[in-house]
C-alpha cells in the first residue's frame, strides 16, 4: 500500500496553527450570514478563474465572471468552455459527501473538467499512452510521469491509504496536500490533470470539515505564485525520480499549507471587519445579525478604540451627512450593539 513520506516541520506546524485559528474565527463569526453568499460567490469566481488561468486560460477575471453570469463575451471557445466546466466541477464537489474516496470520484471530476475539450474516449478515463511535459522554450523534458500501465495500481494504492485507518489519522489538510501531489505526479490523464488534482484535494477539505463556509480560494494562491507552485511539485518529483513510493513530500506540504494559511488569513481579516468581539457576541446571545457597510464601519471603529465621539465617526463616512451617521447610530443603539454615554456634542458611543 502506498504510504506518503513526509516530515511535519516547524513551518508546517505553524501553518496548520494559522489554518485552525482562521477556521475557528470564520466558522464562529456571528455576522457572516449577511455577507456569506456574496463572499461565497467571490470565492467561487476566484477559484474558477485562477484554477483555469494557471493552466493558460486567457480570460480575465471580469470575463470569467461574465461567462458565469451567462453573458456573451468575445473570447476563445476553449477558454470559455474551461470556465463553464470548472463551475460544474465545483457544483459536483458541493454535492459529493462520501467519505469513502474512490477512483470513480477522480474520474468524475476529470470528466467534468474536460467536457467538450477532449475526445469522449478520453473523458473520465485513464490515459493509455505515455506523456511527457516539456519546457516550452527549450523543448527539454522536465517531467516524465509513470507509464500508463502503472496508473491504475498507483491510484488504487493511494486510495487504499487515504481510506485506511492510518491515513484517516492524518490531518485533513495534509491529506488534501498529499492527494493533490499524487494525482498531479501520477498524471493519469492526457489533459486536465491539474484541475483534477486541485478538485480532488478540495473535495477532501470540503468533506472532512475544512470547507470553511466555502469562502476561500486556494487556486488564487497557486495562480499568483505559479512558478513556485510548479517548482514545488517538480522538486518533490526529483526527491526520488526512480521510485514514486519513496518521494519526500515535506517541501510540497509546506508550500500547500502555507498557501491555505495565507488565503484563510485574508478571509479571516475580511470577516473580522464585519464581526464583533466576544463582548458583543455575549450581548447578542449568540444570535446572527446583519449590518450594512456603514454600520460595520462604525462598529469596527468603536470596537477598536473602545469609544468614539460623533466628531471622530464623521470622517469614517465622508460622503454622507451627519444626520445619516446619527441615524445609523440610532439603529445600532436600538439593536443593543452600541450605547450612548452623555449627551449633545460631547456624547461618546461605546460597544454595549
- pLDDT(10) > 70: yes
Q: Which of 272, 291, 318 is the last residue of a domain?
A: 272
| Residue 1 lies inside a defined structural domain of this protein | no
Same domain, 202 and 308: no
Distance CA 290, CA 131 (A): 53
- pLDDT(32) > 60: no
Q: Which of 272, 287, 318 is the last residue of a domain?
A: 272
* Tally of domains within the chain: 2
Q: Which of 224, 240, 272 is the last residue of a domain?
A: 272
- pLDDT of 278 reads 46
- pLDDT of 39 reads 87
Same domain, 157 and 251: yes
Same domain, 30 and 156: yes
Length of the chain as a residue count: 352
| Residue 206 lies inside a defined structural domain of this protein | yes
192 is an annotated ligand-binding site residue:
yes
Q: Which residues pair with 250 in a beta bridge?
A: none
Which residues are designated catalytic?
A: 187
- pLDDT of 345 reads 67
- pLDDT(350) > 60: yes
Which three three-digit cell numbers place residue 17?
Answer: 496553527
Distance CA 275, CA 283 (A): 13
Mean model confidence pLDDT for the chain: 90
Which has the minimum average pLDDT: 27-41, 86-100, 172-186? 27-41
Same domain, 222 and 290: no
**Range(s) of the domain holding residue 290:** 278-351
Residue percentage of the chain with pLDDT more than 90: 64
User: Looking at residue 347, which CATH number applies to its domain?
Assistant: 1.10.10.10
- pLDDT of 277 reads 47
Which has the minimum average pLDDT: 90-99, 195-204, 247-256, 314-323? 314-323
Please compute the mean of the pLDDT values over residues 305-330 and round it to a whole number. Answer: 86
- pLDDT of 318 reads 83
Same domain, 265 and 287: no
205 pLDDT band, cuts 50/70/90, is very high
| Residue 82 lies inside a defined structural domain of this protein | yes
Higher pLDDT, 319 or 17: 17
Same domain, 126 and 34: yes
Same domain, 115 and 233: yes
202 is an annotated ligand-binding site residue:
no
Please compute the mean of the pLDDT values over residues 77-103 and round it to a whole number. Answer: 96
Please compute the mean of the pLDDT values over residues 219-234 and round it to a whole number. Answer: 96
Give the dihedral sign, CA 161/165/171/172.
positive
- Give Cα separations from 189 to 38, 96, 98 (angstroms): 35, 22, 23
- pLDDT(239) > 80: yes
Residue matched to cell numbers 469566481: 45
Same domain, 262 and 176: yes
Same domain, 183 and 256: yes
Q: Output b/e per residue, 278-298; b: 16+ Cβ within 10 A.
A: eebbebbeeeeeebeebbbbb
195 is an annotated ligand-binding site residue:
yes
| Residue 3 lies inside a defined structural domain of this protein | no
300 pLDDT band, cuts 50/70/90, is confident
193 is an annotated ligand-binding site residue:
yes
Amino acid at each position: 500500500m502506498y504510504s506518503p513520506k513526509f516530515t511535519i516541520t516547524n513551518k508546517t506546524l505553524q501553518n496548520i496553527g494559522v489554518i485552525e485559528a482562521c477556521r475557528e474565527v470564520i466558522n464562529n463569526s456571528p455576522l457572516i450570514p449577511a455577507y456569506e453568499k456574496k463572499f461565497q460567490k467571490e470565492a467561487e469566481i476566484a477559484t474558477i478563474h485562477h484554477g483555469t488561468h494557471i493552466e493558460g486560460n486567457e480570460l480575465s477575471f471580469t470575463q470569467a465572471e461574465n461567462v458565469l453570469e451567462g453573458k456573451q463575451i468575445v473570447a476563445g471557445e476553449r477558454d470559455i468552455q474551461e470556465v463553464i466546466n470548472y463551475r460544474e466541477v465545483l457544483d459536483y464537489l458541493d454535492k459529493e459527501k462520501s467519505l469513502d474516496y474512490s477512483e470513480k470520484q477522480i474520474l468524475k471530476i476529470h470528466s467534468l473538467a474536460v467536457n467538450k475539450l477532449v475526445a469522449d474516449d478520453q473523458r473520465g478515463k485513464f490515459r493509455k499512452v505515455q506523456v511527457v511535459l516539456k519546457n516550452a522554450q527549450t523543448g527539454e523534458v522536465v517531467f516524465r510521469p509513470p507509464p500508463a500501465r502503472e496508473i491504475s495500481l498507483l491510484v488504487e494504492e493511494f486510495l487504499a491509504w487515504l481510506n485506511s485507518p492510518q491515513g484517516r489519522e492524518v490531518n485533513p489538510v495534509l491529506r488534501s496536500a498529499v492527494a493533490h501531489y499524487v494525482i498531479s505526479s501520477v498524471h493519469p490523464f492526457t489533459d486536465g490533470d491539474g484541475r483534477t488534482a486541485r478538485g480532488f484535494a478540495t473535495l477532501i477539505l470540503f468533506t472532512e470539515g475544512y470547507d470553511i463556509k466555502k469562502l476561500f480560494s486556494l487556486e488564487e494562491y497557486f495562480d499568483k505564485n505559479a512558478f513556485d507552485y510548479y517548482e514545488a511539485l517538480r522538486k518533490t518529483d526529483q526527491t526520488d525520480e526512480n521510485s514514486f513510493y519513496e518521494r519526500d513530500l515535506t517541501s510540497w506540504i509546506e508550500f500547500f499549507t502555507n498557501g491555505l494559511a495565507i488565503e484563510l488569513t485574508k478571509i479571516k481579516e475580511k470577516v473580522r471587519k464585519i464581526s464583533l468581539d466576544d463582548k458583543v457576541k455575549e450581548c447578542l446571545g449568540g444570535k446572527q445579525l446583519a449590518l450594512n457597510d456603514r454600520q460595520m464601519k462604525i462598529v469596527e471603529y468603536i470596537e477598536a478604540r473602545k469609544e468614539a465621539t460623533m466628531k471622530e465617526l464623521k470622517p469614517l463616512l465622508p460622503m454622507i451627512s451627519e444626520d445619516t451617521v446619527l441615524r445609523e447610530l440610532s439603529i445600532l443603539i436600538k439593536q443593543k450593539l452600541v450605547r450612548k454615554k452623555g449627551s449633545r456634542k460631547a456624547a461618546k458611543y461605546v460597544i454595549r
